[in-house]
Structure 1
Amino acid sequence: MTDENGVLRWGVLGTGGIAHSFMEGLRATPTARVTAVGSRTPERSREFASTWGVARAHGSYEDLAADPDVDAVYVATPHPWHHPHTLLCLNAGKHVLVEKPMAMNALQAAEMTAAAGANGVFLMEAMWTRFLPVHRLVRELVADGAIGELRQISAEFGVSAPYDPDHRLFNADLGGGALLDLGVYPLMLASWYLGELTVVGATRRLSPDHMVDTHTTVLVRGEHGATATLSCASLTALPNRAVLAGTRGRVELPLFWAATEAVLYREGAEPEVLERPFRANGYEYEAEEVARCVAAGLSQSPDMTWDESLRLAALTDRVRDMGGLVYTAPTVKAVPL
């Protein structure tokens, strides 16, 4: 489903900060056009539409899912609502790009992929990092043996945010916690390079109200024995880099989840800085992947498959189990989405 010019027509479900970031990326995507936005309130929908020049502003998510001029929907609501909002759109016959994490647990993620298969539509978790140009380049270099055999990965994503129990990052009812919000990036990187992961150990520090994690560190082992040490934090600023270490060198990626450069260290050679700047803000590449896959008649991206999303969901479940974190069914709160 595209318009007469072969352009994928997007609807945006949710009007929070991540939706605005996605819109900035779409502006640099010639294969995409946003035709509609949906929010829980007509006022927020109209405000978003006015800001970005979107033709249709729907005052409910149901109306957006039913819009005949929408081919694909970007689900940009908080974590606990990824599952119901994605199912709403899939069952309406829309292709879906859903923000990370795909769902609150592996069971929800499995229901979402099953619904995509049953409805014959495309579904992808919005793991934008995998589609960034510098990560594509590093992936090729590692596969070609530039650093020898990959033996160890370290990756961390930590911010020093002010503690607010009502903020999405710290509120369990809103899917809060460092692991689900930030930890998915280090886990994704390790899974991408090491394959099926076994959780060897995990530690965590809880928020002052003991409801969510504010610092989690995980040790995992890959399919062929390589290991990874992965950390995330919401109250502590970490170095925020990734290192891929092999038998003959290493690659370092500053701000790895949004990287525009990497540094390649090879035995006997000077460090090589590899720069790949964004055309816009980096979100354009995942949108292009959706358009490419839909045009090719694919139901999932070969670079971010359903099985990979299911593995990541199961992995976060395992880490939370080890830390004793249990999320109850959330109650929708009156917060701006």
Structure 2
Amino acid sequence: MSDTQRKIKWGIAGLGNIANRFATALTEHCSFGELYAVSARDQSRAALFANKFDCDKAYGSYEAMAQDPDVEAVYIATVHPYHKPLAKLFLSHNKHVLVEKPAFTNLGDWLEMKALAEQNGVMLLEAMKTVVFPAYRELTAFLTSNQIKLDSIEASFGNEHDYDPNLFIFNPDLAGGATLDVGVYGLWFFYDLCRTLGITPSIPQVEMSSLYEGSNVDTDSCFQFSGEINAAISASTVRNLPRAARLTGPDITITIKEKWWNPAHITVEYKQETFTIEHPVQGNGFEYQIEHFLQLVLEGKLESDILSSKISAQVLETMEKALADAGYQHLTQPNV
């Protein structure tokens, strides 16, 4: 079997809801990888997860999985503060790492872990599924090939949640808040479109607020960009926000429909003509980033042209500064 035909053995660290979605996509919709091992801080939890997805190894500690020589790639799916120590653990054991967004809570951690990955000859990427969806890839190709100019981007991500101090999005000790949890999607989207269009983004004006006094996390944020392109990127953990993204420019209006962060249906009105870009999703959407990551591993690459490390750095830097300026610096420097 050639290297490009074999299956990469994955391990998953952290076994919550998002890990379930990743495991489902990997086991049902991915050709180049297999779920080989899972790890949690509780052996019984790991065993239950492993049994559900019929994988070989269940580890009751992350260190034990890191020491397994057969694990080639690890998906980190814990809450935000644990991303860095786990990334450091697995990168130090020469595992490729795909870390759930936000990869970390500050730029310094990203740069430190990227340096460690480079030192050990392995790959570290942030799992930002939106930009890997086929419909979005077709859209960016259209923008590039037709030299489209955009002057406005509107995208929001918000869901109403009742306040619960034990829920991680309201817990400052777990680096909760709207910006880090869902604002990261819109910022990634904006910076990726700027890269596609060849635009240098401006420094945003940011508004943040907390609906619940004393919660010590932001429940709402809005990043306003101006200059060559205007953008409004909004996030909320307490309000339902519009789920369609809208891009406009001379002679063009683009609408990414319901749940724009899972782009499957895009309407383009261009020069008095309308067409659609449509790629129905067969799984839950995680499969695209998994397959992309696996292809890079099989090809011996350590960077992605799609899951750009530069954009990860831009987004983390923007969020870190905005949170610090608004009095939420503690969210960017969690204690673990």
TM-score (norm 1): 0.93
Taking the aligned partners of 1:79 and 1:277, their CA distance within structure 2 comes to 30
Partner of 1:299: 302
Structure 2 residue matching 1:101: 3-state secondary structure? coil
Taking the aligned partners of 2:204 and 2:60, their CA distance within structure 1 comes to 47
Taking the aligned partners of 2:282 and 2:96, their CA distance within structure 1 comes to 25
Corresponding residue to 2:250 among 247, 250, 259: 247
Partner of 1:7: 7
Q: Give 1:69 shift.
A: 1.3
Residue 154 in structure 1 maps to residue 159 in structure 2: no
TM-score (norm 2): 0.93
Amino acid at match of 2:268: L
Contact 2:152 2:249 in 1 (8 A): yes
After superposition, the Cα gap between the structure-2 partners of 1:74 and 1:300, relative to the gap in structure 1 and judged at 3 Å, is same
Partner of 1:312: 315
Q: Which moved more, 1:204-213 or 1:175-184?
A: 204-213
Corresponding residue to 2:266 among 262, 267, 279: 262
Contact 2:150 2:250 in 1 (8 A): yes
Q: Identity of paired residues, percent?
A: 32
Q: Give structure 1 regions of 4+ aligned residues with deviation exceeding 3 angstroms.
A: 2-5, 328-332
> What's the C-alpha RMSD, in Å, of the aligned pairs?
1.7
Contact 2:251 2:272 in 1 (8 A): no
Please list, as runs of the form range in 1=range in 2, the aligned pairs for 1:82-93 lying within 5 A after superposition. Answer: 82-93=83-94
Please list, as runs of the form range in 1=range in 2, the aligned pairs for 1:51-66 lying within 5 A after superposition. Answer: 51-66=52-67
Partner of 1:335: none
Structure 1 residue matching 2:203: 3-state secondary structure? strand
Deviations 1:94-147 (A, max 9, x none): 00000000101111111111110111101110011111011111111111238x
Please list, as runs of the form range in 1=range in 2, the aligned pairs for 1:1-337 lying within 5 A after superposition. Answer: 6-26=6-26, 27-145=28-146, 148-195=148-195, 196-208=200-212, 209-221=214-226, 225-254=228-257, 255-269=259-273, 271-327=274-330, 329-330=333-334
Contact 1:170 1:207 in 2 (8 A): no
Contact 1:154 1:242 in 2 (8 A): yes
Taking the aligned partners of 2:67 and 2:4, their CA distance within structure 1 comes to 20
Structure 2 residue matching 1:169: 3-state secondary structure? helix
Instruction: Give unpaired runs (5+ residues) of structure 1.
Output: 333-337
Deviations 1:173-203 (A, max 9, x none): 1110000000001100110011443333111
Amino acid at match of 1:200: P
Structure 1 residue matching 2:173: 3-state secondary structure? helix
Structure 1 residue matching 2:116: 3-state secondary structure? helix
Structure 1 residue matching 2:281: 3-state secondary structure? coil
